[in-house]
Structure 1
Amino acid sequence: MTAPLLDVRDLRVTFPTDDGLVHAVNGMDLQVRRGETVGIVGESGSGKTVTSQTLMGLLKETNARITGSIEFDGVDLVPLTETQMRPYRGRKIGMIFQDPLSAMHPFDKVGVQIAEAYRVHNSTSKKDARNHAIEMLRRVGIPDPVARYDNYPHEFSGGMRQRAMIAMALICEPELLIADEPTTALDVTVQAQILDLIASLQAETGSAVIFITHDLGVVAEVCERVVVMYGGQAIEEGDVRDIFFRTEHPYTKGLMASMPSMTDDAGRLTPIPGFPPSLIDLPHGCMFAERCPVAHLIQDGRCFTDRPALRVVGDGHRARCHLSGDEGRALVSLQGSMEVAS
């Protein structure tokens, strides 16, 4: 098997605060192969966005402390300086941000910003960059791209701004595209159009895609593999069928149970009880132990004292749980629901 395009090992990101170190990412592992679409899911605060910002090198000039390795095409990006990182950001790794209105400069024309993104990485004239930007606006479905080139961000609708952001991210045809919640603020119809657009452009360019979202329906539609994050860690990973139909980790089971169902007559969602762990005072054992109904069934208390590692539970399927596999499935069958046993 060929080496992954992106290979993240034991990534840790902390932010010093007056209250102590915030452990935003705690030993994250992630592999993405060329042309592959990988979804990263989890609750708010699980570390998805901080992970994506770290991959892009956006935290290099902040007070964040970063350890571990981020190998992109064989080069570790973690020790690179901001200057050394610039050829990668935009040229080799592109990013679609959640809110394009805040990501674009309000005083610059949309087309000019897209053309500038192209000129940063290519020795070309302003005219050539303008032509590339107009062509990219056309490819992402912006009507009358020549006229729209001179519009400002506030003159675009939400869906058009997101298309323009995609054009900016893809104009240099990066090898890896990171899409951080790209459809959250859009209505269902526009969301479907954006997902189709990303898929078609990926097919054209051959880019690998990391799709960060909390929408499991989107993951099921567009992703080949899924990484579930909790407490700054990958707690389960596998292909999309493993995650949806052969779930191993109790947290992933809780996410699946909380999804709306068209066939559920009760009309109520099943939330995961409790709250995520403090990222300042991390638990000694499993990050999910306090909220986990399975952990409360175990006599030896290992879930509260020992931090589990990612264990292989199937072909390409891993789970960060002491009780994954046959033993865990037997115990889970006793719980009957995600309610913590009293």
Structure 2
Amino acid sequence: MTIVLGIETSCDETGVGLVRDGVLLGQALASSMEEHVRFGGVVPEIAARAHVYAIVPTIQAALDDAGLTLDDVGAIAVTTGPGLATALHVGVAAAKAIAAATGLPLYGVHHLAGHAAADTLDHGPLPARSVGLIVSGGHTSLLHVRDLTRTPIEHLSDTLDDAAGEAFDKVARLLGLPYPGGPVIDRVAAGGDPTAVRFPRPLTGRNDSRLGFSFSGLKTAVARYVERTPDLDVADTAASFQEAVADVLTRKALLACQDQRVDTLVIVGGVAANSRVRSLAQERCDAAGIELRVPRLGLCTDNGAMIAAIGDLLVRDGAKPSSLDVTVHPTIELQTAQLV
């Protein structure tokens, strides 16, 4: 069985993982998050420079974690899109260098397919049909997933504007909380009342898109509330905002499961680590008789294990490797797991 080394550099985290036959053997992660905090968001040039410094040590750290050497590796998988162009180029260049030097097959893969594959490391193969909810700083999508490597992935809906994770970051700034906003709002909200402020639930009206997402208006509603509230309770506001996001995400995800007549919901991406999203999804799935699959917290955010996981699926499926002139695709939509 082939050991696949996965490389992820789509944003601000340098991730490397090693997977064989659906089992995570080892991984390592280097983050440049602290370098972006003072800017309130990721600066592409800083992220790319950090990847250059981190890529070789992180590959070695992942190999050490697995107790392996590069000689044990049988294939390379790398994120080729979507993401920050300059950051993606660092990972792709490293993967090409290894493939060229060793003769190992190279697989360029879609970042979001990696997120979906991350769940298989915890819960085994995906069912024949499922609904996937991908929620992160740059993406909020509902997908009809069949076979990740063999059949096209059907987009049921995508956000019309801000992704859920982006809304968390912007609302955190409105509340005077540090970047990144998702984890800090989750922590602050634990001490607040989620019913204190009835923020709007975007696109849930009778004439709205049944599965559509939009979080820009919710962000604006929070901004207006903050402006007109002199004695602002940050914890209550954070909890109420978080409740609105979790309510919309889980409500639409369950509707998608009903529409597609599937009994499995898979939630992945950085926002899948949010405690309220996880708990409300579980509550609603239990009530509807839907199986909920959410990866462990460490596999929700960007990491190399998820890229190794989708590479492992491609290798086991007998997919043809990508060529050594594979390039980056910073804005490509998820339709197929492999990008050639």
Q: TM-score, normalised by structure 1?
A: 0.30
More helix by share: 2
Kindly name which structure, 1 or 2, has the bigger radius of gyration based on alpha carbons. 1
Greater length-normalized contact order (CA 8 Å, ≥ 6 residues apart): 2
Q: TM-score, normalised by structure 2?
A: 0.30
